[in-house]
Amino acid sequence: MKTKLKIIAVLVSLAVFLLIIATFLISPGFYKGPKIPPRIIVEINCKRLKKHLNQYYEKLQGKISENPSSDFVAYLTGLEKDSQFSRDPPVVPYTSERDLGFYLLLPGNLESVRPLLIGYTTPIKTKKGQVYRGVFFLRGKEIAAVTIEERVLINIIGSEDFEKKKPDLYIWRERLNYLNDQSRKGK
């Protein structure tokens, strides 16, 4: 009798354990992974854009464009493998906290004697109320992507037109889903 009770207790415990595991596997929050702090999100997106900036200037090979910012946006939005770059902002319900807009002030050459501001992102607000932006500086022949507080950036570039400007391009994570949904609607 005691052996049967032990077996039943073990089976019930195992069933409860499997039920808990199944709940975590089925719940939608399980696949999202850990929440990444906003400052780190800015940093990741800036490093991604920095990689593309380096590739873009490498392709230029010293050919100075009249409007490097516009040409860079055309270059990025023309990359078929990476359709998360867009001239258009994310639209609801396809927005996410990882989406960023970028303002570009790109020079014709990837070279500067003094540190030169060449771009910055839209703001990211933390839970504590701090507002950060990703900022790109050209130092010598290297692009430095750093995260700084918004008020520091405003002090660098001035407050005129700061809020009124529209970003040159956007990274939005759900753009593939948006494009797929739009193509289904068009059929």
Asked if 6 and 42 sit in the same domain, the reply is no
- Res 76 pLDDT > 80: yes
Check whether residue 45 and residue 116 sit in a common domain: yes
Same domain as 160, residue 98? yes
Tell me how many domains the chain contains.
2
**Distance, CA of 123 to CA of 102 (rounded, Å):** 10
Residues 141 and 110: beta-carbon distance below 8 Å: yes
Whether residue 29 is found in the same domain as residue 44: no
**Cα(122)–Cα(39) distance, integer angstroms:** 12
The predicted-structure confidence for 17-48, as pLDDT tens digits, reads as follows 666 766 655 555 554 556 777 777 778 888 88
Q: Mention every residue, 6+ apart, whose C-beta is less than 8 A from residue 102.
A: 49, 119, 120, 121, 122, 167, 168, 169, 170, 171
5 and 78 inside one domain = no
In the chain, the N- to C-terminal Cα span, in Å, equals 66
Residues of the domain holding 24: 1-33
User: What's the DSSP call for residue 84?
Assistant: T
Verify that 24 and 83 share a domain, yes or no.
Answer: no
Q: Both 134 and 103 in a single domain?
A: yes
For 88-116, the pLDDT digits (tens) are 899 888 888 788 899 998 888 778 888 89
Q: Name the phi and psi angles at 106, rounded to 5.
A: -75, 140
pLDDT at 130: 85
For the question of whether the overall pTM of this predicted structure is more than 0.95, the answer is no
Same domain, 157 and 175: yes
